[in-house]
Amino acid sequence: MISVIGAGAFGTALAISQAQQGPVILWARNTDHAEEMARERQNKSRLGGIPLPDGLRVTSDKEMAAQGGTILLAVPMQKLQNALEVWADALDGKRLVACCKGVDLGTGRGPVEIVNETVPGAVPAILTGPSFASDIARGLPTALTLACADETVGRTLQEELTTRNIRIYRTTDTTGAELGGALKNVMAIACGVVMGARLGESARAALMTRGYAEMSRMALACGARAETLAGLSGFGDLALTCTSEQSRNLRYGMAIGRGQPFEKGVTVEGASTAQAVARKAAKLDIEMPITDVVTRLVDGDLGIEEAMDNLLSRPLRQE
C-alpha cells in the first residue's frame, strides 16, 4: 500500500493517480480538512471539482498513514525537515519518496539529503519532473523522473508508482534530480520578471538558455551527471515552469516585474531556493549571475532596470 503525506494540490493529485493501481492513504495535517475531503470526496480548496476515487482514503491519523511501505512526502521543501523529525520513528525502514523541489534555506541541503540524515533507517528517493497537480489529477499524460541511489529499490519504485497517466523514468543520480528540480524554479522567477516587465519572448528564451547553463554548472560541481540535467528533472521541468502561468514561480516573477503584490498564502519554493543556492555557489566559487539577481529582486535590494543592466553588462564571453 502507498501513503501520501501532505494533502495539498500535488499530494492529492498523486494520491488520485496512485489510487488507480490500488488502495492509497492520503494524510492531511488538519483534521477538519481531512474530514471534509472524506465527506465531500474532493479537495475543494486545492483541486475543486476533481473527485477522489473509491480506493483513496483520507485521514489525519499518523499511525494509519504510516502503514504504507512506500511513503510519498508531498510537503513543502522548507517544511520537510520538521515534518520528518515529527514522523521519524513511524517512517523508519520505509521507502520515502520526496515529492518536493528546492533547497533547504537553513542547511542548503536537498530533500534526499534531509531524508538520509533525519530518517537514516529509511531508503530515500525523489520523484520530480515537469508536472502540474491539475494535469495529474485529471488523468492527463505526465512523465517524471524517479531518482534513487539504490538501483534495486529504484526499479521497485518505478514499477510501483507508474500509473495509466504517469510514466516514470529511473536514475540513480539523486543529486542531479534534486538540483534540476530546485534550480528551475529560480530560473522561472527570472523568466516571470522578464514577462511581467514586458521585455519580450526573446529575452525569456535567452534567460532560459543561460539559466540552463547556470543550472548545469552548479549541478556538475556538486557531482551530478550532465544527462540528468538534460532530462525530465532538468531541461524538461525548466521548459514547463518557465513557459506556463500555472507555475507559481513564473507568476511570482511576473508580479515582481509588474511591481505588484503576489497572491497571499501561495508557496513559492524558488524564492527560498535562490537564497540557499546563492550562498552555496559563493562557497563553491561558482558563477551564478541569474540566481544572484533573482535573490536580490526577491529581497527588494534591486530594481528591474538595474537587474537587467547587471546581466547585460557582464563581460562578453564564448558560449
- Do residues 35 and 66 touch, judged by C-beta distance below 8 A? no
Superfamily assignment of 2-172 in CATH?
Answer: NAD(P)-binding Rossmann-like Domain (3.40.50.720)
4 contacts 72 by C-beta, under 8 angstroms: yes
Q: What is the pLDDT of residue 309?
A: 80
Q: Residue ranges of the domains in the chain?
A: 2-172, 175-312
pLDDT of residue 316: 60
Can you give the pLDDT at residue 265?
A: 82
Ranges of the chain whose pLDDT falls below 50: none
Kindly report the CATH number that applies to the domain delimited by 175-312: 1.10.1040.10
Q: What is the DSSP letter of 78?
A: G
Would residue 62 show up in a list of annotated catalytic residues for this protein? no
Q: Which of 94, 101, 184, 280 is catalytic?
A: 184
pLDDT at 47: 95
DSSP 8-state code for residue 289: H
* pTM higher than 0.85: yes
Q: Where are the alpha helices (DSSP H) in the chain?
A: 9-18, 31-40, 44-47, 62-65, 80-91, 111-118, 133-137, 151-161, 174-196, 201-221, 226-229, 237-241, 248-258, 269-284, 289-299, 304-312
